[in-house]
């Protein structure tokens, strides 16, 4: 990564090292002073964190939620950021250094249900869209072709077994481009060991299907683990409880009423975020 393309944005309670070539999150922060696409979600995220908490950021991208979490949990807390794309992980490490946030742990790996080497498929549009799923990015002839790269995957349970003497986690933010079902399988012990744990996760039904997983089964697994599911409705700016049938009704409706000006949803289908609380 070219050092000349980096700059530091000061949010007040934390800083981030950003990249001028990043047309997604860095650009939004430059224009709006915040991660504008997820302003509502980040407010929900912040409200559920307290000093001293242990937080996991699965699919940390360039570290916005990582730094936000650390600014709230403080020096007595713990934040672990998992990010497989080397350029993104490097930005997180630079932001950690810029803030002197020593209790952030940066793991340059993807979260899954197994530990192995595999391909990370690189989106030509935004570094937040890189995925372990083969989304046929190269079929888009109008996009710059990027070579896929080899990355490590791990399980959350395996990580805790190897590096910590405890399984304490209070909050998990998960946004891993359709691989959430796989990650859930690999963190069942962490979820079972923590009675008050919460998860904020992206819910992209088409992504689950592309990966050979069922969005309904994802919801069923969460409920079987003792979670109540809430829809973070970015359109209405509301958070409300949903059962499985209701959530799938919302999915069907939204996929049949995709906004014409949203090119991402027009191509990939509707997605949203869920808050899951024990």
User: How many other C-beta atoms are found inside a 10 Å radius of the C-beta of residue 268?
Assistant: 18
Q: Does 56 score more than 50 pLDDT?
A: yes
pLDDT at 141: 47
CATH number of 3-277: 3.40.50.150
Q: Rounded CA gap, 180 and 178, in Å?
A: 6
Q: Give yes or no for a contact between 245 and 166, defined as CB atoms under 8 angstroms apart.
A: no
pLDDT at 144: 57
The token duo for 244 is 């499985």
pLDDT at 250: 97
Q: Does 255 score more than 80 pLDDT?
A: yes
The token duo for 160 is 């805790």
Full-model pTM: 0.95
Mean pLDDT of the chain: 93
Domain ranges of the chain: 3-277
């Amino acid at each position: 990564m070219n050092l000349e393309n980096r700059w530091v944005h000061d949010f007040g309670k934390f800083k981030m090292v950003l990249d001028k070539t990043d047309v997604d999150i860095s650009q939004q922060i430059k224009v709006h002073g915040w991660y504008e696409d997820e302003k509502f979600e980040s407010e929900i995220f912040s409200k559920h964190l307290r000093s001293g908490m242990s937080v996991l950021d699965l699919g940390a991208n360039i570290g916005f939620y990582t730094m936000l979490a650390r600014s709230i949990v403080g020096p007595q807390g713990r934040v672990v950021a998992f990010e497989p794309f080397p350029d993104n992980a490097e930005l997180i490490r630079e932001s950690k250094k810029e803030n002197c946030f020593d209790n952030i742990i940066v793991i340059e790996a993807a979260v899954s249900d197994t530990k192995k080497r595999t391909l990370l498929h690189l989106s030509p549009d935004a570094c937040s869209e890189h995925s372990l799923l083969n989304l046929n990015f190269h079929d888009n002839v109008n996009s710059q072709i990027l070579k896929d790269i080899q990355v490590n995957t791990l399980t959350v349970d395996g990580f805790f077994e190897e590096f910590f003497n405890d399984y304490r986690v209070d909050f998990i933010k998960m946004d891993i481009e359709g691989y959430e079902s796989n990650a859930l399988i690999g963190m069942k012990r962490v979820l079972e060991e923590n009675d008050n744990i919460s998860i904020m996760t992206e819910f992209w039904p088409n992504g689950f299907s592309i990966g050979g997983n069922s969005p309904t089964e994802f919801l069923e697994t969460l409920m079987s683990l003792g979670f109540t599911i809430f829809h973070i409705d970015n359109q209405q700016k509301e958070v409300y409880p949903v059962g499985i049938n209701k959530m799938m009704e919302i999915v069907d409706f939204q996929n049949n009423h995709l906004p014409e000006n949203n090119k991402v949803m027009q191509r990939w289908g509707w997605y949203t975020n869920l808050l899951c609380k024990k």
